[in-house]
Structure 1
């Protein structure tokens, strides 16, 4: 296992295993990089690295699909695993376990280095020179409200008293060279911190970091408990503190090896229209909303910087790999803390973060004496739907452990044959609903409330599968394999 402390060493490692597609011809910055990246997701090709983009300074590059499925069929989750310092052949369930386990270990706080030792400050732009127009920011989709300056970068903010520092990913749209507008959801951590600045009537300092160490991008995009510092959690995953440097113009520390850092302040009112944007559910956006303005004041960057991007849409992109694994790890952590003997949690990529599978071991009835499967499903829903991350999950399936939950073919078979047409489900009415899940009616989005469900698919008696593995004597199977 190896931890990559900057984006470039990570790209080099992917390149060595044949998982980078070098696009050396000049590409138009409007749609071409995004369209190539989107196709790379859909055919599971190597991750595209764009070396020549029309209209920007020579040397500036774009990097697409940083944490999607690998083009290596023998290690499909290699990009996510390697980002987190895990072995490239790690399975999805192993990654979820690692993310959950790290939450119970002591955090390792970051360490500050001098500016001279921070590659992210090799070049410094101030005033009118600090303009987004210098950088290759494409349209993600042709129906979007603008060019999205943040799809895989880390936003760094902290409370006015400095006690809580938050690193997160949120979509941010370019308005012009000096302004962006970002989606600030009140219930999310960045929204809670922004509300504290609004209370005191002062604009919120922010740093938008493009291309930090891959683990920083990944952890920024998954749920961890409120008031926990992502930097400390990343240090735990890395086994060493994250190196940070003081930002040039604001009182924030930023990752020292980042490619690009944008510094400025966020308005205290929702004074600019953001969206629409094609989201992880797989549909192009159709609406916009008033959101705060991110004013651009200073930009620092490495020589020949690399701007990473995630182009969300139909499976499979970073929303369906990394983010889904983070949500599964969150669910797994809370259920085990509730003393439920859950074996695994998994969100199938092709469900676009609309299904969550909770896998129970064969002996769960012995571990929970007197509890029926209906009562277990009810309890699982009570635990999960109180957590903030589960606002994104409308459907939970409680399943046995006699199949591979990461194999979509097996998932479809199990759900098709074990979900009862009418009964065996726990319905939770009037749960919090936001617009990102695609399965609700307009009146439910307006009200902010809708139903969620836990399906009980647990078998009273385990049935053997009509399969090669379970349908024939072991000696017959071995003889066939030996002569295959």
Structure 2
């Protein structure tokens, strides 16, 4: 296990494993880097590192697919695991357990270093020099409303009273060299903090951090409780405090080893059009909405900076790996805190964050005496659909632990053979609905209300599988293997 405290050491580690694809020819500054990255997701190739992008200064680089599935055989979740300081061969269940366990451990607050010791302050740009036009920001998809300046960066904001600092990922579109426009969802933490500044009538200070330590990017993209500081949680995962430095133009601390830091203020009104954008559900966007403007006032960066990007779309990209694991860990934590003895939770990558599997141990009936599977499904829904993170998940499946939930072939077999066509489900009407899940009707999006469901697939009697492992005596299996 090793914690990587900057993006470059992480890239070097992936490279040593053969999981980096060096693109040394010049690529265009519009669509080519995103198209290469998108194909790398779809064929599960090494992560592309672009060394030469047209239209920007030599040395400025792009890094795609930072936390998607690994190309290394037998270690599909290596990029996520290594980002979090876990062993490359960690299983999905082990990653989720680590994320959940850290929720109940004391946080380790960050430590501030001097500007002279902060790599992100190697270059400081102010005034007209602080322009986004310096950087290789491509179009993510050809139907997008603009170049997206944030797909894998960390937005840092703080409440006016200074009591809550939030690090998160939200999509932000470049308008021009001095302006961006970001999706500000009221229910998300950044939206809640922005609303406090709006009440005061004051623009919100922000820092947009590109290429910090990979754990920072990962934790910024997963749910943790409101008013908890992500920096403290990252310190717990790392076992050491995150090094931060005071921003050069605003009163915020930023990760000291980051590649690029953009500083400024967010407008108090939704005064600029954002979108469309191709999202994680796998479809190109078709609409836009009024969102607040992010004004650019200062930029700092390392020498020869690297700009990471996640190109959302069909599986499998960071939404379906890291974010899904974070949502699953959040569900696991809430269910266990409610006294439900869940073995693990999992969101299959190919479900595009529309399914959640709740895996129950074989002896769950002994642990919950007198509870039927129908009552258990109802209780699971009551717990989960009361949480903020579950606004993204419309379908929950309660399953036995006699298969591998991370193996899509086995998941399809279990759901096909154990989901009753009509019964054995708990339906929750009038649940909160947002536009990101793709399965609702337009009137449900407009009303912000729709149904969610928990499918009870638990077996009354466990059946043996007609498989190599369960269909033959042990001595026969061994003889087959010995002579294979």
Establish whether TM, by shorter chain, passes 0.5: yes
Partner of 1:35: 35
Q: Does 1:309 align with 2:309?
A: yes
Q: What is the rounded CA distance, in whole Å, between the counterparts of 2:79 and 2:21 in structure 1? A: 14
Match runs of 1:239-278 below 5 Å = 239-278=239-278
Q: How far did residue 481 of structure 1 move?
A: 1.0
2:164 & 2:363 partners in 1: Cα distance? Answer: 42
Residue 179 of structure 1 corresponds to 179
Find the counterpart in structure 1 of residue 192 from structure 2. 192
**Aligned pairs, number:** 484
What secondary structure, in the 3-state scheme, does the structure 2 residue paired with 1:39 have?
helix
- How far off its partner does 1:483 sit? 1.5
C-alpha deviation, 1:482, in angstroms: 1.4
- Partner residue in 2 for 1:105: 105
Larger deviation: 208-217 or 470-479? 470-479
Instruction: Quote the offset at 1:377 in angstroms.
Output: 0.0
Please identify runs of 4+ aligned residues in structure 1 that moved more than 6 A. Answer: none
1:300-326 alpha-carbon deviations (Å, 9 max, x no partner)? 000000000000000000000000000
| Counterpart in the other structure of 2:413 | 413
Matched with 1:468 is: 468
Equivalence for 1:85: 85
- Distance (whole Å) between structure 2 residues aligned to residue 38 and residue 98 of structure 1: 29
Q: In the TM superposition, what whole-angstrom CA distance separates every residue of 1:227-257 from its partner, at most 9, and x where no partner exists? A: 0000000000000000000000000000000
Instruction: Please give the alpha-carbon distance, in whole angstroms, between the structure 1 residues aligned to 2:129 and 2:344.
Output: 51
**Per-residue CA distance 1:364-397 (angstroms, 9 max, x = gap):** 0000000000000000000000000000000000
Task: Classify the secondary structure of the residue corresponding to 2:387.
Answer: coil
**Counterparts of 1:464 and 1:179, CA distance in 2:** 61
> What's the secondary structure of 1:258's corresponding residue?
coil
1:118-138 Cα offsets, whole Å, 9 max, x none, are 000000000111000000000
Distance 1:377 1:436 in 2: 25
CA distance, structure 1, for counterparts of residue 93 and residue 445 of structure 2: 32
Distance 1:222 1:142 in 2: 27
For the residues of structure 2 that align with 1:399 and 1:381, how far apart are their CA atoms?
A: 14
Distance in 1 separating the partners of 2:92 and 2:213: 21
Is 1:283 the counterpart of 2:283 in the alignment? yes
User: Residue 431 of structure 2: SS of its match in structure 1?
Assistant: strand
Q: Distance in 2 between matches of 1:157 and 1:300?
A: 17
Q: Give the structure 2 partner of residue 428 of structure 1.
A: 428
Match of 1:322 in 2: 322
Residue-by-residue CA offset, 1:431-467 (whole Å, 9 max, x unaligned) = 0000000000000000000000000000000000000
Query: Partner of 1:150 in structure 2?
Result: 150
Q: Distance in 2 between matches of 1:193 and 1:44?
A: 37
Query: Matches of 2:83 and 2:318 in 1, distance apart?
Result: 12
Paired with 2:169 and 2:73, the residues of 1 have a C-alpha distance of 28
State the alpha-carbon separation in 1 of the partners of residues 223 and 73 from structure 2: 28
Match of 2:216 in 1: 216
Match of 2:439 in 1: 439
For the residues of structure 2 that align with 1:29 and 1:325, how far apart are their CA atoms?
32
Distance (Å, rounded) in 2 between the aligned partners of 1:178 and 1:447:
36
Equivalence map 1:1-400=2 (5 Å): 1-400=1-400
Cα deviation code 1:193-232 (max 9, x no counterpart): 0000001000000000000000000000000000000000
* CA shift digits 1:155-174 (9 cap, x unpaired): 00000000000000000000
**What secondary structure does 1:187 align onto?**
coil
In the superposition, the TM-score normalised over structure 2's length comes to 1.00
Distance in 1 separating the partners of 2:441 and 2:173: 27
- What's the secondary structure of 1:261's corresponding residue? strand
Q: What is the distance in 2 between the residues matched to 1:169 and 1:144? A: 18
Q: Name the CA distance, whole Å, in 1 between partners of 2:188 and 2:377.
A: 27
2: CA distance, partners of 1:224 / 1:250: 25
CA drift of 1:73 comes to 2.1
Residue ranges of structure 1 left out of the alignment (5+ in a row):
none
CA distance in 2, matches of 1:299, 1:256: 14
Superposed CA deviations along residues 319-357 of structure 1, whole A, max 9, x for unmatched, are 000000000000000000000000000000000000000
Q: Distance in 1 between matches of 2:29 and 2:22?
A: 16
- Give distance in 2, aligned partners of 1:96 and 1:288: 34
Any idea what SS the aligned residue of 1:329 has? helix
1:54-79 C-alpha deviation (Å, 9 max, x unpaired): 00000000000000000012100000
TM-score by length of 1: 1.00
Distance 1:473 1:130 in 2: 70
Larger deviation: 472-481 or 241-250? 472-481
Q: CA deviation at 1:480?
A: 1.0
Cα deviation, residue 39, structure 1? 0.2
